[in-house]
Structure 1
Amino acid sequence: MPQKVRVQVDGRPLLLSHLDKVLWPAWTKAEMLDYYARVADAMAPHLRDRPASFLRGPEGMTGPLFVAKNPPPQTPDWVRIEVIEAKEGPREHLVLDDAPSLIAAANLYCLEIHVPQWTLTTGRDGHDRLVVDLDPGEGATAVECCVAALLVREALAADGLACWPVTSGSKGLHLYTPLPPTTEDAVVGYARTAAERLAAAYPQLLVARMTKALRTGKVFLDWSQNSTSKTTSAPYTLRATRTPVPGVSTPLTWSEVESCRSVEDLAFSPEDVIARVAAHGDLAAGLCDPAEARGLPG
């Protein structure tokens, strides 16, 4: 396989390199780039107008992995870069608004892509998504996360809010609710109150406190992911899992959540996700539809 290939992606020039490099034990860089190209149309709306951060690993699973927020070296000059104010001062971020930008980032070994629950249009205090991160403690699995997800869905529905389930691509689930632009305090306050209420009602299954000692055999409802400074793995991103091929953050149907009986039921390979997108399109498309946004109660 050639070490470098010049391609055009939607009219944008890209020099793809080291295509035969093994990034996961049974998966190469060429396969990673092909995956992102095939899911780009479904994934890009979840990234659009959001400052991205990454888990990068130029040597794949055999080398060091590191969190990156600044644009990687050799980023093409046509990829959108925005300066974001952060606690440590102004910081440049890539904004992956389209397929060429997504593939350019993957070519620079951005293995995982993470984004916040706000956009550059709404601003840092204009969150347009609420997320409940269902994180299984030791002894709990995705099966318990699915039981928890149904309880969270019921609680949100009582407040007039719909949510979309997406696997984390690792162990847990993310539930997303689209919102009209809403302040950080309002979203964090609502998420925390809802999590604490559910944990009090189902103490054998759920916990709303971060203390790890409390999580054994339970599902942690991580409401803190709604903080402006936090990000979550984007729908369709690959994950740096210690597996032969990477895990994938995969949008689900609620029937899949309801019928989950084993961890394998929600373990999707990149090839699985490509097939799902080809057959069904983006199962989480409602998150990007302003018509689906509902305000928080009160």
Structure 2
Amino acid sequence: MTPITEVEGRRLALTNLEKVLHPATGTTKGEILHYYATTAGAILAHLHNRPVSFLRYPDGPDGQLFFTKNPPPGTPSWVRTSEVPRSDDKHARQVVVQDLASLIWAANLVVEFHTPQWQADTPAVADRMVFDLDPGAPATVTQCCAVALWLRERLAADGLHAYAKTSGSKGLHVLVPLEPTPSEKVSAYAKSLAVEGEAALPGLILHRMTRSLRPGKVFVDHSQNSAKKTTATPYTLRARTEPTVSTPVTWDEVEAGADSGSGSGENLVFRIGDIAPRLERYGDLLGPLVNLNRARPLP
């Protein structure tokens, strides 16, 4: 029998709560739902008013993974959707997760949450910029930390404030709150910094994805600033062997990561059990992305 629960007055059927989704740790679907319920305030702030794309992994990270922008079949009528532009002047609708009931409904589908750098009522006008730092083996998150520190300093020179989070996978994301700016302009600026970084640190930074150049370097992926692209939302669980989370980190932690030599950066891997204590200790380290009290114009 499928358990029915009530969340903020909405009746939800929660399925397969005992199903193990992360075999390495034995983490069940019920534990994942509990994680989202207990950290809802933090993730909802970053999902607010942003059309969401889902990476679904209903049978765990070793099963089938599929990416969807369209509202899944059976989406309840009370889940908000928003019209979004697509290519060729067409429009479609995407889910906007605005409340706890919608969050738990989506989490029950077993998803990663991915969002664009713009809000639903201002498509292609970004209020944040992102750099996705992706290490090519044998480089690790240690090298990503060094690149993040370079980016932070370079952005500060242009009057911009930078914040960091783990990707929940191998790398780091550097995020910058902006006064609303066309995505095209943000993309051009982000690319120029990646190119500048490669010139400044050619043994460490790449601005192109070219596979043959990747080993031992960090690809500074600026492309996620495109209006068509999305990035893993802060606090989303990732479809990895262990239940890792895309987790905001302090710059002290990034500096310690850069100083860890050739280490694997294990101190920058966070799982679902780590997040509530971190929120209690630090609050939301990415709060300035939401409150926009540190948003600045792009130079």
State the TM-score, normalizing by the size of structure 1. 0.94
Residue 75 of structure 1: aligned partner: 75
Shift of 1:62: 4.0
Paired residues of 2:21 and 2:28 also in contact (CA < 8 A):
yes
Shift of 1:75: 2.0
1:64 aligns with 2:61: no
Tell me the amino acid that sits aligned with residue 22 of structure 1: V
Shift of 1:10: 2.6
Does the C-alpha gap of structure 1 residues 279 and 4 become closer, same or farther in structure 2, counting only changes over 3 Å?
A: farther
- Distance between the aligned counterparts of 2:298 and 2:103, measured in 1? 32
Does the C-alpha gap of structure 1 residues 125 and 135 become closer, same or farther in structure 2, counting only changes over 3 Å?
A: same
Q: Deviations over 1:241-268 (max 9, x none)?
A: 1x2x311100001100011123211011
Residue 208 of structure 2: aligned partner: 209
Q: Deviations over 1:136-155 (max 9, x none)?
A: 11211000000110000000
Shift of 1:98: 1.9
What is the total number of aligned residue pairs between the two structures?
291
1:281 aligns with 2:283: yes
- Distance between the aligned counterparts of 2:280 and 2:30, measured in 1? 20
Paired residues of 1:4 and 1:19 also in contact (CA < 8 A):
no
Tell me the amino acid that sits aligned with residue 146 of structure 1: C
Q: Deviations over 1:94-146 (max 9, x none)?
A: 10112221111011222x1100000012x222111100111111211000000
Paired residues of 1:72 and 1:108 also in contact (CA < 8 A):
no
Give the one of 232, 239, 243 matched to 1:246. 243
- Distance between the aligned counterparts of 2:9 and 2:162, measured in 1? 36
Shift of 1:57: 1.9
Q: 155-164 or 15-24, which moves further after superposition?
A: 15-24
Residue 43 of structure 1: aligned partner: 43
Residue 109 of structure 2: aligned partner: 108
Q: How does 1:82-101 map to 2 (within 5 A)?
A: 82-87=82-87, 89-101=90-102
1:8 aligns with 2:6: yes
Structure 2 gap ranges (5+)? none
- Distance between the aligned counterparts of 2:87 and 2:100, measured in 1? 30
Does the C-alpha gap of structure 1 residues 150 and 38 become closer, same or farther in structure 2, counting only changes over 3 Å?
A: same
Paired residues of 1:115 and 1:233 also in contact (CA < 8 A):
yes
State the TM-score, normalizing by the size of structure 2. 0.94
Structure 1 gap ranges (5+)? none
Q: Deviations over 1:164-218 (max 9, x none)?
A: 1010000010011011110122101110111111110110111111211112101
- Distance between the aligned counterparts of 2:161 and 2:44, measured in 1? 22
- Distance between the aligned counterparts of 1:279 and 1:136, measured in 2? 29
Q: 10-19 or 159-168, which moves further after superposition?
A: 10-19
Does the C-alpha gap of structure 1 residues 209 and 61 become closer, same or farther in structure 2, counting only changes over 3 Å?
A: closer
Residue 259 of structure 1: aligned partner: 256
- Distance between the aligned counterparts of 1:62 and 1:256, measured in 2? 31
Tell me the amino acid that sits aligned with residue 291 of structure 2: D
The share of aligned pairs that are identical, in percent, is: 50
1:288 is paired with a residue whose SS is helix
- Distance between the aligned counterparts of 2:252 and 2:187, measured in 1? 28
Cα RMSD of the aligned pairs, angstroms, is: 1.3
Shift of 1:76: 2.0
Residue 223 of structure 2: aligned partner: 224
- Distance between the aligned counterparts of 1:265 and 1:60, measured in 2? 24
1:61 is paired with a residue whose SS is coil
Paired residues of 1:75 and 1:108 also in contact (CA < 8 A):
no
Paired residues of 1:75 and 1:105 also in contact (CA < 8 A):
no
- Distance between the aligned counterparts of 1:61 and 1:229, measured in 2? 25
2:180 is paired with a residue whose SS is strand
1:187 is paired with a residue whose SS is helix
Does the C-alpha gap of structure 1 residues 237 and 10 become closer, same or farther in structure 2, counting only changes over 3 Å?
A: same
